[in-house]
Structure 1
Amino acid sequence: MAQIEEISDTTGTPGQQPTAHGWPAVAAVASATFTVVTSEMLPVGLLTPIGDALDVTGGTAGLTLTVTGLVGAVSAPLLTPLLGRFDRRTVLCALMAVQAVGNLLAAWSADFAVMTAARVLVGIGMGGVWAIAAGLAVRLVPPESVGPATSLVFGGIAVASVLGVPAGTYVGELLGWRAAFVTVGALALLVLIALAVLLPRLPAEQEVRLGGVLRLSGNPRVRRGLAVVALLVTGHFAAYTYVRPVLEEVSGASAGMIGVLLLVYGLAGVAGNFASGAGAARSPRATLLLISAVLAVTVALVPLLGGSVPAAGVLLAVWGLSYGGVSVSTQTWLLTSAPGAREGVSALFVGVFNGAIALGSLLGGLAADGIGTTAALWLGAGLAAAALTAAASGTSPDRTRAAGTPGD
C-alpha cells in the first residue's frame, strides 16, 4: 500500500538495518495482532452459552466485550508512553503472556465476576500489543518493503475482526465455549514463543509522551478520521455483538447453522479487507464513504429481509465484505493525516477503536434488553449512516504530504 509506505519509512534509528529475519518477524507480529483481536471479540459468537453457564442475560453477557474494549481503549494510549524505554520484543512477549492468562482464566471462570477479571487482562494485553505492533514494520524490513509489511501487520487485525468470531463459534459448538477460550489462550502462548524466537532486539527508538499523543487529536483530519472510526465501529458492534440471538429470532437458524453463517461473513470480510486496502491506498475517503453506505443499508435490511437462512447468509456476506475494510481504511486515513507521528496516531486509533467496541456492545445490549434484539441492528444502521455523513464532511486526507513534512 503506497500511502502506508510513504509515511512509514522515516522513523528507524539512524544506521540501523532491518534484520535478515524481517518477513518471519513481521509474520509473528501479524500473528500477535490476530490473536489479541480474536481474543477481544471471541464472546460475540458465544454469548448464548456464556450467559446460560454464568446465569446472566444476553445483554449482561455482552459486557464481556464491553469491559475488554474499555480496558483496551485506556491501555493503548497509556502503555505506549509508559513502556517507551523497554525493548519492544520483551514488551510484546510480556503482553502476550498477559493475554494467555486472561483467556485461560476466562475458560475456568465459575461466575461472571471472574469472567470480568479475565476480560480485563485480555483488554490490557490487546490494547498494548495493537498499539506497539503498528510501529514495528519499518524496523523489520527494508524501506521498499515497509508498505506491504505494515499491511500484513494490520491484516492480522482485519482477519481477526472477520474470522475470529466464526472460528470461536465453531470451536464452541464442537467442544463448548470454555474450549474456545482455552484454544485462544494456547495460541497466545505459541505466538509468544514465535515472537521471542523471530524478533530481533528492538530497543526503544524515541520517547512518546502522553501529551503528544493527545495533541494529535487537534489535527482536524485526525479528529474527523477518529469520528468516522468511532461511529462505524460503535454501530457495527451495537449490531454484530447480538447477531447470534438476532439470527436465532429472525431467520430461525440453528446453532450449527449460525456457525456456518458467521464463517460466510468472515470469508467475505477477508476479501473486503484486501479490496478496501487497495482502494484506501488511492482514496481512503471514497473507500470509507462506500463502506459506510453499504453497512448502513445492509444492517438495516437484516431484520426486514433476513427471515430465511439463505437470505440471512447473503446479507451477512455483504456485511462482512464492507466491514472487512474498516480497519485498514480508517488506519490509512489517520496515517495519511498525521505524517511522521505513526506511533502516536496509532495509539489514538486503538484507543478510539476499542472504546467504540465497548460502547457499541453496551448500547446494543441496552437496546436488546430494553426493546428487543432487532433494535440493536437498527441502532447500528443509524450509526453507520452518521459515519457516512462524517466521512463526507471537511477536506480529504487523500493528498496528505509525505512523512517528515508538516501536515495541517
Structure 2
Amino acid sequence: MSVDTAPVGSATPAAASPKVPLRQWLAVIAVATATFAMVTVESLPVGLLTAISGGLGVSEGLAGLTVTLPGLLAAISAPVLPILIRRLDRRLVLLSLLAVMLAATLTSALAPNFGVMLASRVFVGIAIGGFWALAASVAVRLVPERHIPRATSLAFGGATAANVMGAPAATLIGGLTDWRIAFGVVAALGALVAVALYALLPKLPATTIVSPRTLLAQLRNPAVRAAVTATFLLVGAHWAAYTFISPILQQTSGLDATLIGPAQLAFGVAGILGTVVAGSAAARDPRRALIGAGVLLAASLALFPLAGATPAGGLVLLVLWGLAFGGVPVGVQSWIFKAAPEAAEAATALNTSMFNLAIAAGAAVGGVVVSATGTTGVLWIGAAFGAVAGLAVWATGRSLAK
C-alpha cells in the first residue's frame, strides 16, 4: 500500500504553472516558522534548567527530564502518528499539533509543580514528533517538483534558525525576566504561527493511508534504509561532539569562555548557510549533496584536535562543521523524496524517529567517551561515524545504479 502523498504541486491548481504564486511560498514559510517554534519549544529548558529546578524545587538532574523526555516521545510519535491519522486532512492535523504544543507550553508556564511540568512536556514531545513527520512532505506538496529542494531547505531551515536564534532568545528572555515568561512568549509565537497556517495552507487531503506495513516496506528500500542509517550516524556524530562544544573550544582551541556564545552563533549561522547550499546541491543530485555533507562533517571533526589547536583554527573548523551539519537534514530528506516519492510521508516518519533517537544516543555515547578519553576521543568517534555514513550512502548509490 502506498503512502498518502498527493502528486507534488497538487495542493492548488496554480502549482502546476511555471511561476509559483506568492501565497504558496508564504505557506511554505509558515510551515518553516512552525518548525522554528516547535524546535524552540523542545530545546527551551536547556538554557533555563537552573531557574526551572529552583522554581519547582527539584535538582537540575531531575529537571533535565524536561529535555530528554520530549525527545524520546518525539521518536515514538513520529512513526505512530501517520498510522493513526489515516485519511485526515494534513492541514487539520498540523493545526491540531500546533494547538497541542500551544496548550502544553502554556501549561509549562503555569505549572505549579514538577509533575505538571513533566506531563506538559510529554505532550510537547508528541506534538513535535508528529509535526516533524508531516512538515517536510506537506511543504513539498505546496510547490512544483522542480522547487522541492528549496521548499525542503526552507522547512528544515526553520529548525536550524531555532537553534541559532529561537532557543538563545528565549533563554535571554528568561534570564532577564522569569523562566515562566519565556515559555509564555514562545506559546504566543505558536499562536501566531497557527493563525498563519490556518490562513495560508490549502486543504491537503490524504489520498491513501499509512499502515505498519507501509512503514516496514520502507526499510526494505535500500535508498531509504541508507538515508535513515545516515541520519542516525551523522546526527549521532554531531551530538556526541557538539554536546561538549564548550570544553572542546576551551581545552582544545584555547578559546576564552566569554567567546563560546559568539562561537556557537557563528556555528548556527553557518548551519543556516549549509542548509541553503545543500538545498541547491540536492536539486541536482541529493545523493552527492548528502555524501558531501558527511565528508565535510567527518573531516571537520577529525581535524579539530590538530588544526583546531588554536582559537583561529578552532573557529574555522567550527564554521565548517556548521556548514556540514546544516546540509544533513535537507540532503537526507531530498534523497528520501527521490527514492520513495510514493511513500514520502512514511519514509519521513521513520527518518524523524531516527533523528530524535540519534540525538539522545549521540549525547549518551559522547558522555561515556568524554569520561573515558576526554574531548579528543569524542571528536574522533564523531569523525568515524561521519565517514561510515558517507560510505553507506555512496555504496547504496552504486548498488542502485547497477
> TM-score normalised to the size of structure 1?
0.81
Report the counterpart of residue 332 of structure 1 in structure 2: 334
Would the aligned equivalents of 1:167 and 1:263 in 2 still touch at CA under 8 Å?
no
Per-residue CA distance 1:222-251 (angstroms, 9 max, x = gap): 112211111111111122233235445555
Correspondent of 2:133 among 131, 134, 147:
131
In 2, the alpha carbon distance for the partners of 1:250 and 1:108 equals 42
The equivalent of 1:345 in structure 2 is: 347
Task: For residues 159-197 of structure 1, give each alpha carbon's deviation from its aligned partner in whole angstroms, at most 9, with x where no partner exists.
Answer: 423552454225424642835544433322211121122
Say which is worse superposed, 258-267 or 152-161, in terms of deviation. 152-161
Which amino acid counterpart does residue 223 of structure 1 have in structure 2? R
What is the CA–CA distance in structure 2 between the aligned matches of 1:275 and 1:391, rounded to whole Å? 19
Structure 1 residue aligned with 2:18: none
Measure the CA separation in 2 of the matches of 1:245 and 1:18: 52
Alignment partner of 1:283 is 2:293: no
Query: Whole-Å Cα distance in 2 between the matches of residues 119 and 396 of structure 1?
Result: 43
**Residues 237 and 382 in structure 2, CA contact (< 8 A), matched pair in contact too:** yes
Code of the aligned partner of 2:151: L
Shift of the 394–136 alpha-carbon distance from structure 1 to 2, 3 Å rule, reads closer
Q: Is the contact between residue 12 and residue 202 of structure 2 (CA under 8 Å) also seen in structure 1?
A: no
RMSD: 3.5
Letter in 2 for 1:284: P
Aligned CA distance change for structure 1 residues 161 and 137 (closer, same or farther; 3 Å): closer
The one of 13, 17, 32 aligned to 2:13? 17
Work out whether 1:56 is the aligned partner of 2:53.
no
Per-residue deviation, 1:323: 0.7
- In structure 2, relative to structure 1, the CA distance for the partners of 1:61 and 1:237 (3 Å cut) is farther
Matches within 5 A, 1:136-285: 136-137=138-139, 139-141=141-143, 145-148=144-147, 151-161=150-160, 163-165=162-164, 167-173=166-172, 175-176=174-175, 178=179, 180-247=182-249, 249-250=251-252, 257-285=259-287
- Deviation at residue 78 of structure 1 after TM alignment: 0.8
Q: Does the CA contact (< 8 Å) of 2:286 and 2:331 recur in 1?
A: yes
Deviates more, 1:329-338 or 1:108-117: 108-117
The residue matched to 2:137 in structure 1 has which SS? coil
Which secondary structure does the structure 1 equivalent of 2:385 belong to?
helix
2:78 corresponds to 1:79? no
In 1, Cα distance between equivalents of 2:286 and 2:320 = 20
In 2, Cα distance between the equivalents of 1:221 and 1:387? 13
CA contact (8 A) 1:12 1:205 kept: no
Percent sequence identity over aligned pairs? 41
C-alpha displacement of 1:154 = 4.2
1:346-367 alpha-carbon deviations (Å, 9 max, x no partner):
2122122222122222323344
User: Which of 266-275 and 32-41 deviates more?
Assistant: 32-41
Going from structure 1 to structure 2, the CA distance change for 1:378 and 1:62 (only over 3 Å counts) comes to farther
Answer yes or no: is the 8 Å Cα contact 2:32–2:158 preserved in 1: no
1:352-387: CA deviation from partner (whole Å, max 9, x where unpaired): 222212222232334445665555444322321221
1:45 positional shift: 5.9
Secondary structure (helix, strand or coil) at the match of 1:275 reads helix
- Aligned pair in 2 of structure 1 residues 113, 322: CA closer, same or farther (>3 Å)? farther
Deviates more, 1:325-334 or 1:347-356: 347-356
One-letter identity of the residue aligned with 2:154: G
> Counterpart amino acid of 1:56?
E
Following the alignment from structure 1 to structure 2, what is the Cα–Cα distance between the partners of residues 358 and 232? 13
Alpha-carbon distance in 2 for matches of 1:49, 1:248? 25
**Structure 1: distance between partners of 2:380 and 2:140:** 41
The answer to whether the Cα contact below 8 Å between 2:149 and 2:282 also exists between their aligned partners in 1 is no
Distance 2:105 2:370 in 1: 26
Residues in 1 aligned to 2:369 and 2:110: alpha-carbon distance in whole angstroms: 30
1:5 aligns to what? none
8 Å contact from structure 2 (residues 88, 206) kept in 1: yes
Structure 1, 188-197 or 157-166: larger mean CA deviation: 157-166
Quickly say closer, same or farther: Cα 1:100–1:371, change in 2 above 3 A.
Answer: farther
Q: Which residue of 2 aligns with 1:89?
A: 91
Post-superposition CA distance 1:289-324 (Å, at most 9, x none): 222222123224445554554443222211111111
Structure-1 separation of matches of 2:361 and 2:220? 23
Distance 1:278 1:65 in 2: 33
Q: Distance in 2 between matches of 1:236 and 1:186?
A: 31
Moved more, 271-280 or 115-124: 115-124
Seen in structure 2, the aligned counterparts of structure 1 residues 330 and 52 have a Cα distance that, compared at 3 Å, is farther
| CA distance 1:370–1:118, shift in 2 (3 Å) | farther
Partner of 1:380: 382
Residue 393 of structure 2 corresponds to which residue in structure 1? 391
User: Is the 1:253–1:309 contact (alpha carbons within 8 Å) kept by the matching residues of 2?
Assistant: yes
Cα 1:198–1:183 change in 2 (3 A) is same
Unmatched runs of 5 consecutive residues or more in structure 2? 16-20
Q: TM-score, normalised by structure 2?
A: 0.82
Letter in 2 for 1:10: P
Change (3 A) 1:38 1:63: same
**Alignment CA distance shift 1:245-1:113 (3 Å):** farther
The one-letter amino acid of 1:32's match is: A
The structure in which a higher percent of residues are helix is: 2
Where do 5+ consecutive residues of structure 1 fail to align? Answer: 1-7, 400-407
Q: Is the 8 A contact 2:82 2:133 kept in 1?
A: yes
Aligned partners of 2:367 and 2:191: how far apart in 1? 32
Query: Which residue among 14, 33, 40 is the counterpart of 1:31?
Result: 33
